[in-house]
Structure 1
């Protein structure tokens, strides 16, 4: 047996298992001639990229075994799910996680049947696949995930297979620059394998058509040492791939030891659908886009296709690969690593197994002293920056702060007292807070920040992503995929909980004085709200102390996406720390000091969520107290937005009885909201008295203007809220007509002042609670 016979045997076995998953219901070992009833009624899956992935797995196993290398894989062309499943089954991990899928003929039959089958498993590299941390349902994120996994993992190598179709996406194109943020001494290494098989679903891929010399220069320009492995003859490709991988891992060692400044990468060029049918119905298939999904589509009904499928599967010589009972023979498993060194069993790919709780300082030590509510101003995110500074100092190897060049802008600069921004590229004398050991990851790509953090969290660490509110939409789709990953993982017993993905959105819609309409969009709230209640949490802390309490809770949580929206501009301090903790624990509550119902049934409820809407609601309550002292007003602030849902719909939801007690069932409710008004109606449409709820919020009215003018443009300002109360409380319309007109005049006065002087009137700008 030649030196690469074991690798080739593994590769052929994986290819056989992959084809079987796409096609077969029964007869897994081809112990009898294939019959139509052995074939699945619906043929689903993707063959084209799969043999190339199996080729990589086979050779990476040899490296792990020979070098005792700690390694995980990331599969960019994640629709090559059959390869990852076959790999985990051959390594034995699949049977360990799913004991009914044994390594025998019956287990193989079940393995084949479940693939892309009702009640079975997805066709992509999904959470159900041991060894995976990258969902293959959407392309573009593999390389960012790989670098995120490598940060603070000094002994780990992350082998990342990048499909040439995926390489055309924006996130992947930016991800090549992640090498400028990797510290060879502190972090692991990433081995990108750019797999060029020439085609996407129906079109050629750009990088496959670039001349090789130009492509190599492109990768060199990105800062890598590229190596080319190209061909279609296994007899030549096995020794070439082995030699290249040995050279690449030698170079990784040099890089880790500081003797080289560039990571290696491999350009692997193989035919799409390699080893599959060369021609079907007179048309070329192997090496073309026709092999992308299912090369033979009419197998049940077309005897010629059935014969071609059997010839294809027998071409792998299954009798040499599996014994009579369906178990892989020793020659196939010769290069399979042992125990946790198997890529499908590596604990880094099930990060909850490695997760350690953060060492968190007492957030109460950072409390803002509040003598009386709403009479002093503090910048909430600046206070949070002090807490994050202590978190970073106490957790120097498993917490990172991500952000698209906005950490200082979002007032979190205190973190730079204990750390730099991670940077392993050239540094100039004029630069500040840059260094290879930095814990702050800043790059002007929300995609990279999200991808790095996902890879970091899924391999057992912690982090926070701060971003301007309007531009977090750039990662809407990435958030969707991560939320779905968490939802699926929660249903898989062997997937251990990971640290939550925490978003801090600041520079929000209501305070974009100099940026204007382009920076005004609170719609990420709605994107998050769409996901399963088991996964998402949304918090709108109105002041610094509530932000500290919420942040502590989020950093301790597991398996959630926590969305926190908080302002960076000075806002009124409403709660002492003890009051803030109680308020955040409840998720919402009556502000007794701002209310005038005195324990009786109110005439109107003023509800609010978000810092600026809360300010305007308080100012409206003060105006009502001054001008309509007999009116009984109840003021309610909401921190945990999901509390508004019924308890049957969300774990944080309130019972109808509790909701009715707070909000009443028959009194008008004026709800001043940070985001789009329909969001509140969506959360409360089942509640008693929903018809009484009138929501003010953002309605796509914005420009470069003053804070109060921005509020007036969207009718969330104090004067308009008073007008809403007059319009909706029975009996007030006629008796309070003079007050209503005065409120309309006040709006005109405020707008005229901004147009004349470029700032809000002092009585509005400097307003504090007067009682």
Structure 2
């Protein structure tokens, strides 16, 4: 902490050598001091914001929450970004990676005026400052991290590791945008961030913007030193250069020196970026550049208390959160806090009405150039509808249901190719995935664009292109972060993945869902294009890759989340996949999960039928059952997912042949949220509608794509839940035949028929022979596959004969 009689910055001290003259150095330091003062005030104060009276315990918040340690470094970066944005008239965005850096980013937004423009009650004066301070980490206020409520933010600061991949996502197809990204040294230890350094191999200097990483090494996490701050500089340099960066180092604890060095570093980095882009755009240079970055070493909790209760604080882990925890009850702590606040000399920074003085604001850009006002940080202002073609061009046709096979995702690939073609000029649509675009049958995209790639190419490579808009990297974290950054800045996209490995981004999508849920409730946040997942190569057709690739649980994770945001679709065939994808790509502010197979599957519905069925979300397939309308069904066969639908229809055909007197209703569910009550989800069915479809008292045999308990969880409040019997995946998997996968998990047609016999009252005695026949078929299956290595002919050659 600066002594009250000692200047907190450079006033009264000679200017250190560098690009800043004395006046500019003084102005930048004033802005930095003001931001630091506001950050400290947010953590501690609920009254007396300008220290017009000596601090008293009642001026202090009863619960001290927030993080000081990272704030002075973030304030320093913000101050210097203001300088270069204004001087160079840059279109810029900043991603603030360090956790819980909210005090700094909010402080700077208030200083540049965007906070008061967004929230007029938090005016840029003493009264507004008081509200600014009180609301921080206070009931009814704002979070302690950078959040949707913070103007200028697109990045949730609650979980670490995603800042740099978000930054690159924002830069893709934004050729005039500079995305600065502050990476905390604790955050730099995470797996997603470690992979993110490779994003330089995918950034096109012609069509994309630039990312300027600023690795902030303040030395500590919450209680431990950080790895990158403790390795020798030459080792750190070798690491960063190996990633393809050209690091520029700024180190120190003297404000005047650090201001000069950081200003010089930013000027050098931006000159390098401009030169790289000029050579690529004007001279045709195609070699991958070595992009600049800045390594900033300053003390953790810089300008805060040096010691508290005899323990060192500034420059240690003890400054991470609240350096003076006992301010309300400890007179010594209260005195230290007042000295700390006054060391910034607030009377030089704010006038008598609490407004920032002109010198403080001299470096701040104007209008939308302010970081808090960038339209890229409120991407809904920029998003345009996708030019989606008529689905009739891609729909599959057939004369008879269940006899023609198509690969649903290959059919979808044609639609995605058309979208990619239609956005060739505007460049606002990308498809990401971990090395699986062709594997997932979406290779038609390569007729419209290549795969983004800036590294070495060989003659044996296919579809690599500097300007490609398909992005493949074997890191689900990077794919997720790139797409999030792309969507949050006003564009569209789709993430294609093997179903089992979508779990890798469970935590990332959780943060995005929380962001969307909060943003939907903030009036000034405009709706964004939805985050769309296509999960394929799914559990039932991973018979070749085996148990490690068999996990349908991502859907369970998603359906635990905010119901106004999440949607899950299980289209049973190619035309329903087209209809669902069309809806998802047009939607706003959702996370849409679509689970669809890539292997040949039967066509069940025409395009018009598919549209109607998808609009309903769940419905009876009259053509598949044996109801005649004169009485209630004896049993309901329900299904969700392509393989469960096929097994259900095969079971219905067996019942039609062996028990023609049995009234069977077949229900297919494509929108999983329809199973929830209407009060639990916007897509939920009211009880009367659910009861009419599934009945209140008849047995329901439900063949489900994933873990069976999810269906029970969705339906447990329904009147007919006691009659619900669900078959699904129960962690029985191996490398085997496709049909053996369903047999192992008791989801096969023979088991479903046995369930009907067991559960329809009175049928067990009458149909004992049928039950035995079905059990024998399962036994024959086991013997057949072990001898022949293929499925039974009656299964492999089955078609719908209804």
Task: Check whether the contact 1:78–1:134 (CA below 8 A) recurs between aligned residues.
Answer: no
Matched residue, 1:585 = 615
The one of 87, 92, 99 equivalent to 1:78 is 99
For residue 403 of structure 1, the aligned residue among 433, 439, 442 is 433
Match of 1:239 among 253, 260, 281: 260
- Residue 44 of structure 2 corresponds to 23
Which residue in 1 is equivalent to 2:584? 554
Q: In structure 2, what is the Cα distance between the partners aligned to 1:420 and 1:763?
A: 43
Q: Equivalent residue of 1:510, what SS?
A: helix
Distance in 1, Cα, partners of 2:466 & 2:589: 30
Secondary structure of the equivalent of 2:783?
helix
- 1:398-547 matches, within 5 Å, as 398-547=428-577
Partner of 2:690, secondary structure, is: helix
What SS does structure 1 have at the residue aligned with 2:371? coil
For normalisation by structure 2, the TM-score amounts to: 0.96
Q: Matched residues in 1 for 2:404 and 2:206: separation?
A: 47
In structure 1, C-alpha distance between the alignment counterparts of 2:266 and 2:149, rounded to whole Å: 29
- Which residue in the other structure is 1:574 paired with? 604
Q: Deviations over 1:33-55 (max 9, x none)?
A: 00010000110000001000000
In 2, Cα distance between equivalents of 1:418 and 1:132: 33
Residue in structure 1 matching 2:743, options 694, 712, 720: 712
SS at the partner of 2:702?
strand
Answer yes or no: is 1:229 the counterpart of 2:250.
Answer: yes
Q: Does 1:212 align with 2:233?
A: yes
On the 8 A contact 1:469/1:521 being kept in 2, the answer is yes
The Cα of 1:2 is off from its aligned counterpart by 2.7
Residue 326 of structure 2 corresponds to 298
Alpha-carbon deviation of 1:78? 3.4
2:672 maps to which residue? 641
In structure 2, the partner of 1:349 is 377
Q: Deviations over 1:438-460 (max 9, x none)?
A: 11000000000000000000000
1:242-321 mapped onto 2 (5 Å cutoff): 242-258=263-279, 261-321=289-349
Does structure 2 conserve the Cα–Cα contact (< 8 Å) formed by 1:671 and 1:695? yes
Distance 1:149 1:507 in 2: 29
Deviation track 1:515-558 (CA, whole Å, cap 9, x = no partner) reads 11100100001100011111000000000000000000000000
- Residue 650 of structure 1: aligned partner: 681
- CA shift digits 1:309-357 (9 cap, x unpaired): 0000000000000000000000000011000000110000000000111
- Say which of 750, 759, 762 aligns to 2:790: 759
1:101-126 residue CA offsets vs partner (Å, 9 max, x unmatched): 00111100000000000110000000
SS at match of 1:193: strand
Distance in 1 separating the partners of 2:221 and 2:722: 51
The equivalent of 1:363 in structure 2 is 391
Could you tell me how far 1:235 is from its partner in structure 2? 1.2
Shift of 1:412: 0.6
The reply on whether 1:177 has 2:208 as its aligned counterpart is no
Q: Is the CA contact (8 Å cut-off) linking 1:370 and 1:575 kept in structure 2?
A: no
Aligned to 2:84: 63
Deviations 1:3-47 (CA, angstroms, capped at 9, x unpaired): 311111000000000000000010000011000100001100000
Aligned to 2:8: none
- State the TM-score, normalized to the length of structure 1: 0.99
Q: Distance in 2 between matches of 1:371 and 1:339?
A: 61
Matched, 1:383 2:404: no
Gapped runs of 5+ residues in structure 1?
none
Please state how far the C-alpha of 1:280 moved relative to its aligned partner: 0.6
- Tell me how far apart the structure 2 counterparts of residues 510 and 351 of structure 1 sit (CA, whole Å): 38
Q: Give the paired residue count.
A: 771
Q: Which shows bigger deviation, 700-709 or 250-259?
A: 250-259
Residue 712 (structure 2) aligns with = 681
3-state SS, counterpart of residue 217 of structure 1:
helix
2:690 match: 659
Per-residue deviation, 1:686:
1.1
Q: How does 1:36-55 map to 2 (within 5 A)?
A: 36-55=57-76
CA distance in 1, matches of 2:721, 2:241: 61
What residue in structure 2 maps to residue 129 of structure 1? 150
Runs of 4+ off more than 4 Å: none
For residues 240-278 of structure 1, the C-alpha deviation after alignment (integer angstroms, 9 at most, x for no partner) is 111111111000101111278121100000000000001
1: CA distance between counterparts of 2:797 and 2:640?
A: 21
Extract unaligned runs of 5+ from structure 2.
1-21, 281-287
Q: Work out the CA distance in 2 between the residues paired with 1:572 and 1:146.
A: 42
Check if 1:150 corresponds to 2:171: yes
Whether 1:629 and 2:660 are equivalent positions in the alignment is: yes
Aligned-pair CA distance for 1:694:
0.5
